[in-house]
Each structure stands twice: as C-alpha cells, then as structure tokens.
Amino acid sequence: NFIIAHSQGGIVSRQLDKLCVQEPASYNRRFGGIVTFGTPHLGTELINNKQNLINELNLGCDAFGQIVAQEIGNNILVSLFGVQQTINKFIDGSCNFLASNVIPIAFANSINALIGEDYKIGAPVLNDLNNFHNSNFTMNNRVAFFGVEDKENLLWRQMNSFLINKPEQQPAFEANIDDDLVTQKNQLRSTLTTKIDQINSDIFFYALKGVPCHGLDWVFNFSNCSKYDAAYWRTVNRRNAYVNALTWCWII
C-alpha cells in the first residue's frame, strides 16, 4: 500500500511514518511507501515573507491613494476649503488599517497561523522531520513529485488563490487558473503609462506658457505667470503620483 499525498498531506504522511518508527505500539504501519505531490518538504518561503507581503501591499495602497489625493486636489472646491491635508491623512489611515487588520486576517484565513509556523523555512518541526528521515531509512519506496514554480508574478498569483479564486472552490481539475490578478495588473500598467504620457503633455504645455515669465514679467503679468506656474507644479505632482504607482506595479 502507498500513501499518495498532496502539499501539506505529504508532511503529515512523513510525520505518520516517523511515529510508526518511534511509537510502533501505538501506530501500526499499513503502508510501504509514500508519494508526495507539491509538498514543501523544506518549507515554504511565502510564510517567511508574510510581513514583507503586507508591507508591500501597504506601499501600494499609499501609492494609489496619492493618485486619488492628487485628482481630488485638482477639484476647485477642495482647493477653496483647504482640505487636502485631511484627505491625505484619511488615505494614510485607511492604508494602515488595511495593512494592520484586513490583509493579515485574509492571510490567516488562508493559512492557519499555528500550522503555518510549522511550514516556514527553518521551522523546528520540519528540521526535526528531515533530520529523522535523513538518518532513518524507513521505507524502500519514497517518491516526491514537484513542479518548478514560475517566480514571475508569484505574489499576484498567490493573492489570487488566497483572496479571489480559492482552489477548494474550483471544479475538479480546474484550479490551475490563477493569473486573473496578473492580467489586471498588466492592464493597470498600461492604463498608468497612458495617463503619465497625457500628464507629461500637460506639463509641457504649462512649461511653454510659463517661459515668458521671468524677471519683471512676474511684476507686469503676475496673474498669468502665477497661474501657469501653479498649474505646472500641480501637474508635476499629479504625474509623480502616477509614476510612483506604476513603479510599485513593476516592483511587486
């Protein structure tokens, strides 16, 4: 008889094998081999990087929040009532709340916190199990099947599995489509790039309008000079907000 196990099941099967050796009176071996598929025998790096993941998502929230702040800031009513700083504080607070509460909860719902600790790279439980099997050849038949993980867009595909298309909710043999967020991210990159090009055109326009504004021109044509100067820097800030968001999309 063989045990055929997937993912965490492979670790559980190996632990059972260990118990059969250490406590034979309590555990009667009824299998002669173990076959594992996609089991993290050395641990999974994702759990080690949980906090890094949360930090990166927080940075993304801030980056896109600043786009919202800049676009709202262009509204004449916002300018008149001077509530831009309040908007910025609201965005910062919202992102901090997501990073501190919502995202960790979503992560915890996907991976049990206590079990997850045992699947970290370097976890004592895994080290003990691997040391045992390295020194105790308990079976003649041990086979591990694994795939080479495509590290490109790994975070986006993992988040898709955690939060959107959970594998256990998919029809049988159809849980391999996990690139929905990757597609959306690529579309977002394209949208941001187009927007940046448009804003750069506006910056060029205001820069040309402001060329005559030097020296005494500011005295005799103060109204137009100050208007174009303010518009120029306001538009530069808008562009920078979009650039920061696009940079985040490329890094993450």
Chain segment 5-38, per-residue pLDDT in tens? 988 899 999 999 999 989 989 988 888 888 898 8
For residue 232, the tally of other CB atoms under 10 A from its CB is 20
Question: What does the mean pLDDT of the chain come to?
Answer: 76
pLDDT on residue 251 = 77
Percent of the chain surpassing pLDDT 90: 16
**Amino acid in position 126:** L
pLDDT tens-place string over residues 99-135: 555 455 455 555 556 667 888 899 999 999 999 988 8
Q: Which token pair is 43?
A: 């641990």
Is 43:119 a contact under the CB 8 Å cutoff?
yes
Q: Taking CA 170 as the corner, what is the angle to CA 164 and CA 171, rounded to the nearest 5 degrees?
A: 160
pLDDT of residue 58 exceeding 70, the answer is: yes
Residue 243's nearest CA partner among 74, 63, 116, 62 is 63
Nearest in space to 87 (alpha carbons), one of 99, 100, 102, 74:
74
3-state secondary structure of 28: coil
pLDDT-derived band at 211 (thresholds 50, 70, 90) equals low
Residues contacting residue 199 through CB under 8 Å, at least 6 positions apart: 235, 238, 239, 242
Q: Dihedral (C-alpha) 218, 222, 224, 230: value to the nearest 10 degrees?
A: 80
Query: What pLDDT score does 128 carry?
Result: 93
Q: Backbone phi, then psi, for 120, in 5-degree steps?
A: -70, 150
